[in-house]
Amino acid sequence: MLKSLCTRIEREGLVIVQSNGGSVKSGFWTSLVSTFIVCVLTMTFGCTSRENSLKDLMEASQPIELKTVTIKLSEYCPADRKSLKNYFVTNESVKIRQDNIYMDWDRDGIDNVLDSSTELDLNSKIYDTNGDGYSDMVVYALGLTYKQQAQLRYCDDVTTDFDGDGLTDCEEYLLHTNDKNWDTDGDGIPDKLEIRMSVNPLDVRDAAQDTDSDGLSNMEEIRRGTPIAESNTERMNKMAWVTELESYKNGNATCYNLIITNMPVLEASNGNSIRVTLIEEEMPVAAGTPPVRKMKDFVVTVPRGIEDKSMIRNLFSDVAN
């Protein structure tokens, strides 16, 4: 009885906060009242509903005081016979949707509000809530709830990711993607990023399409972090990050600096994880063999409490993942 009461209060608190997410002032007071109610219940009745539920609520209901940072990654020089073909930048700790920006504490591609919603009933602090080897993102992409994932096949190796695309081989089996190829459909977007951004890793055409008819192709939206199925508002465009690649000559080699501006950061206790994925093409030694494309990841963690408009400088060689 008490447990169900606590759970109901928590959920209703989250729903209230979600509905006021666009207003800094109302979001603050709502979160304060919601947190107070849960605190009183916890102290009075000794509620033990969900682990970390109070922390979840507090992080999910933080008023949005959007800060942005600039990140400069310098001196990327592809080796002989290799050339840089494409790149992606993702803040794995946030999701931009519904004219707002939400924290994704566990970086599973599902923001805290959606993770904790009654629809999904997942834990916003755990990448794989039930520890079965399938991340919450993959469970969500398959259209399953927390309870329904008990139907999934047993995964006997929860760590192997042969092609390094961020999806384990077990997950790729369920998604029907190729666990030996980071870009199953060959559209240039890594399989995990397609799942995270709700495009189809089995459809080569979708990268060039403009699903929401807002003038930005799905590929462009993925590079900026905006949703592919919601026409971008002016507010969403202001939250989107901007990337620029500078090239320069170093002897005969072409090298690069990557500048990321307007990167939004939220006050996650584990910082904001900025993942840079570079796509390289390698020319084969033997004539007549097609070039091979490979992806490389670099991660910059922006610490909690960083000042607005900060500049972070790093060498690519110092942040290799």
Residues interacting with Ca ion, by CB under 5 A? 104, 106, 108, 110, 115, 163, 165, 177, 185, 187, 191, 200, 203, 206, 210, 212, 214, 216
User: 7-10 — which CB contacts under 8 Å span 24+ positions?
Assistant: 7/49, 7/50, 9/37, 9/38, 9/41, 10/38, 10/49, 10/50, 10/53, 10/57, 10/116
Q: Considering the complex, what minimum distance in angstroms separates the CB of residue 209 from Ca ion?
A: 8
Coil, strand, or helix at residue 233? coil
Of 56 and 165, the one with the shorter C-beta distance to Ca ion is 165
Alpha-carbon gap, residue 295 to 86, rounded angstroms: 9
| C-alpha to C-alpha distances, 133 to 93, 126, 154, 222, 313, nearest whole angstrom | 21, 12, 8, 26, 35
Q: Considering the complex, what minimum distance in angstroms separates the CB of residue 299 from Ca ion?
A: 17
The CA radius of gyration of the chain, in Å to the nearest whole number, is: 21
Of 72 and 97, the one with the shorter C-beta distance to Ca ion is 97
Q: How many residues does the chain have?
A: 321
**Which residues does 24 contact at the CB level (< 8 Å), separation at least 6?**
63, 64, 65
Of 203 and 318, the one with the shorter C-beta distance to Ca ion is 203
Question: Cβ distance 124 to 253 under 8 Å?
Answer: no
Q: Considering the complex, what minimum distance in angstroms separates the CB of residue 159 from Ca ion?
A: 15
Q: Considering the complex, what minimum distance in angstroms separates the CB of residue 13 from Ca ion?
A: 18
Alpha-carbon gap, residue 112 to 127, rounded angstroms: 11
Q: Considering the complex, what minimum distance in angstroms separates the CB of residue 254 from Ca ion?
A: 28
Alpha-carbon gap, residue 30 to 140, rounded angstroms: 28
Alpha-carbon gap, residue 171 to 135, rounded angstroms: 8
Q: Considering the complex, what minimum distance in angstroms separates the CB of residue 213 from Ca ion?
A: 7
